[in-house]
């Protein structure tokens, strides 16, 4: 649901005591400025400040004794009205939930999904064109524009074409969510070369391709919000899922490095790490067997959902066996809003409490 809190740009701001005036509306990404007076927010952020360090030091006493500092207007704009977003892996699961949540916050959405088998040997059914169509219907139910594009995140030309289409149809691209992923299970020593390569190519290289496709446009506009969907398994080890864990740990490193590169250009990049979420990737016998192993139970050939729930509940921090996709999406939406314009290079755990077990 879209926040009813008015945009801070419509409210008066409190400037330094020596200079006050009525504030004009804030342009996108801009800091408040009144006449020739610069707000403390802008002054502290300006790189030029480093060049006048000696002058600042000469006024150190005044600066350190001043207690009433900062812009007092609340900057809590959670609306995405007028924004345009790209979401990979949008046909179902977490990607679908994110696409719909972005639309509910006001964004137009281009959903990108292979809608076919991404790799052999997967133990779950692939997404279909009908799944992507369903996402579109849910987005349009929020009265937002929708574009559905079938494509593979391993295909750089296809991603670039999707970005260009979004820019053409929506006029710009403000947001990108790198969500597409696959998962295999098995001991590392026994994992087929093809299976290892496919997990790394889809999950990690696909995320890097998404970044490389959207960043030129965002950097040219000096504005962008990018969120990579990693995993709780990118924050801890996971037996018999080394390829998936490696790809998700790699995504976090990719995010932190890229965020540093573009932070001064108005683009933020962050990660959200879901815990176990009820999606086709996890709602299948292969993943359920691993859940039994996690709980110290003997894996069975024909595992039932009820058996998995019973095995997980004793150690479930919030008392639920797994999350729903729509419970992950709000954290992603927040990181795409102007309320999070000072958040970059961060990892956000949406794990129903499982992150209390992480050591750092």
Phi, psi angles (nearest 5°) of residue 258: -65, -40
Report if residue 72 sits inside a domain: no
Average of pLDDT values for 140-159? 98
Q: What pLDDT score was predicted for residue 37?
A: 45
Same domain for 88 and 59: no
Report d(CA 112, CA 132) in Å as an integer. 8
pLDDT digits (tens, 9 = 90+) for 328-360: 999 999 999 999 999 999 999 999 998 998 886
Angle, CA of 263, 229 and 78, to the nearest 5° = 65
Report d(CA 92, CA 99) in Å as an integer. 10
166: pLDDT strictly greater than 90: yes
Same domain for 160 and 29: no
Q: What pLDDT score was predicted for residue 335?
A: 98
2: pLDDT strictly greater than 50: no
Same domain for 135 and 27: no
pTM above 0.75, yes or no: yes
Counted domains in the chain: 2
pLDDT digits (tens, 9 = 90+) for 182-219: 998 889 999 999 999 999 999 999 999 999 999 999 99
Model confidence at 86, pLDDT cuts 50, 70, 90, reads very high
Same domain for 93 and 180: yes
Q: What is the CATH number of the domain that holds 92?
A: 3.40.50.720
Same domain for 227 and 94: yes
Q: Which two tokens stand for residue 299?
A: 């894996």
Query: Looking at 124, 185, 223, 244, which residue is catalytic?
Result: 244
Average of pLDDT values for 87-115? 98
Report if residue 290 sits inside a domain: no
Is 223 among the residues known to form the active site?
A: no
| Category of 86 on φ-ψ map: left (φ > 0), alpha (ψ -120 to 50) or beta | beta
Same domain for 150 and 18: no
Phi, psi angles (nearest 5°) of residue 38: -100, 135
126: pLDDT strictly greater than 80: yes
Q: What pLDDT score was predicted for residue 15?
A: 39
Report if residue 112 sits inside a domain: yes
Average of pLDDT values for 252-273? 98
Same domain for 124 and 246: yes
Report if residue 102 sits inside a domain: yes
Same domain for 260 and 131: yes
Strands 224-229 and 267-274: parallel
Q: What pLDDT score was predicted for residue 64?
A: 59
Average of pLDDT values for 256-282? 94
C-alpha 93 chain-centroid distance: 15
Report d(CA 45, CA 31) in Å as an integer. 9
Quote the mean pLDDT of the chain.
84
Q: Residue 92: how many CA atoms within 13 Å on its side-chain side?
A: 19
The residues, ordered by sequence, that sit 6+ positions from 325 with a Cβ below 8 Å of its Cβ are: 93, 94, 96, 97, 277, 278, 279
Long-range contacts of 157-166 (CB under 8 A, 24+ apart): 159/112, 159/209, 159/210, 159/213, 160/213, 162/86, 162/110, 162/112, 162/213, 163/86, 163/213, 163/214, 163/217, 165/110, 166/84, 166/86, 166/110
Average of pLDDT values for 43-59? 47
Report if residue 110 sits inside a domain: yes
Same domain for 200 and 94: yes
18: pLDDT strictly greater than 50: no
273: pLDDT strictly greater than 90: yes
- What does the H/E/C string look like for 104-136? HCCCEEEEEECCCCCCCCCCCCCCCHHHHHHHH
Report if residue 313 sits inside a domain: no
Same domain for 225 and 102: yes
Residue pointed to by tokens 């069975």? 300
Report if residue 350 sits inside a domain: yes
pLDDT digits (tens, 9 = 90+) for 298-328: 776 777 778 777 877 888 899 888 899 999 9
Same domain for 144 and 24: no
Same domain for 142 and 61: no
Q: What pLDDT score was predicted for residue 106?
A: 98
Q: What pLDDT score was predicted for residue 54?
A: 46
Angle, CA of 202, 208 and 211, to the nearest 5° = 125
Packing angle of the helix pair 206-221, 242-262 (nearest 10 deg) = 10
Q: Which domain holds residue 12?
A: 8-65
Report if residue 326 sits inside a domain: yes
Angle, CA of 202, 207 and 212, to the nearest 5° = 125
């Amino acid at each position: 649901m879209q926040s009813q809190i008015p945009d801070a740009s419509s409210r008066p701001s409190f400037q330094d005591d020596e200079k006050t005036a009525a504030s004009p509306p804030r342009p996108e990404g801009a800091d408040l400025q009144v006449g020739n007076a610069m707000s403390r927010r802008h002054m502290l952020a300006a790189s030029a400040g480093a060049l006048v360090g000696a002058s600042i030091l000469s006024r150190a006493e005044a600066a350190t004794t001043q207690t009433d500092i900062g812009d007092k207007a609340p900057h809590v704009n959670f609306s995405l009205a007028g924004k345009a977003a790209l979401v990979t892996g949008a046909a179902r699961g977490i990607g679908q939930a994110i696409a719909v949540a972005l639309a509910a916050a006001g964004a137009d959405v281009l959903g990108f999904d292979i809608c076919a088998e991404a790799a052999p040997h997967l133990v779950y059914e692939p997404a279909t064109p009908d799944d992507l169509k369903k996402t579109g219907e849910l987005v349009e139910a929020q009265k937002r524009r929708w574009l559905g594009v079938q494509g593979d995140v391993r295909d750089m030309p296809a991603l670039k074409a999707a970005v260009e289409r979004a820019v053409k149809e929506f006029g710009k691209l403000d947001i990108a969510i790198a969500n597409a992923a696959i998962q295999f299970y098995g001991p590392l020593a026994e994992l087929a070369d093809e299976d290892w390569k496919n997990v790394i190519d889809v999950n990690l290289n696909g995320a890097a391709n998404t970044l490389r496709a959207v960043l030129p446009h965002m950097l040219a506009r000096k504005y962008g919000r990018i969120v990579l969907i990693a995993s709780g398994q990118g924050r801890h080890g996971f037996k018999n899922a080394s390829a998936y864990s490696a790809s998700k740990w790699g995504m976090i490193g990719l995010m932190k490095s890229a965020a540093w590169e573009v932070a001064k250009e108005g683009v933020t990049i962050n990660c959200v790490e879901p815990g176990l979420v009820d999606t086709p990737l996890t709602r299948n016998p292969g993943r359920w067997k691993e859940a039994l192993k996690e709980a110290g139970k003997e894996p069975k050939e024909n595992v039932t959902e009820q058996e998995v729930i019973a095995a997980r509940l004793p150690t479930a921090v919030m008392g639920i066996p797994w999350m729903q996709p729509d419970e992950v999406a709000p954290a992603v939406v927040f990181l795409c809003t102007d309320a999070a314009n000072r958040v970059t290079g961060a990892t956000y755990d949406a794990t129903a409490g499982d992150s209390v077990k992480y050591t750092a």
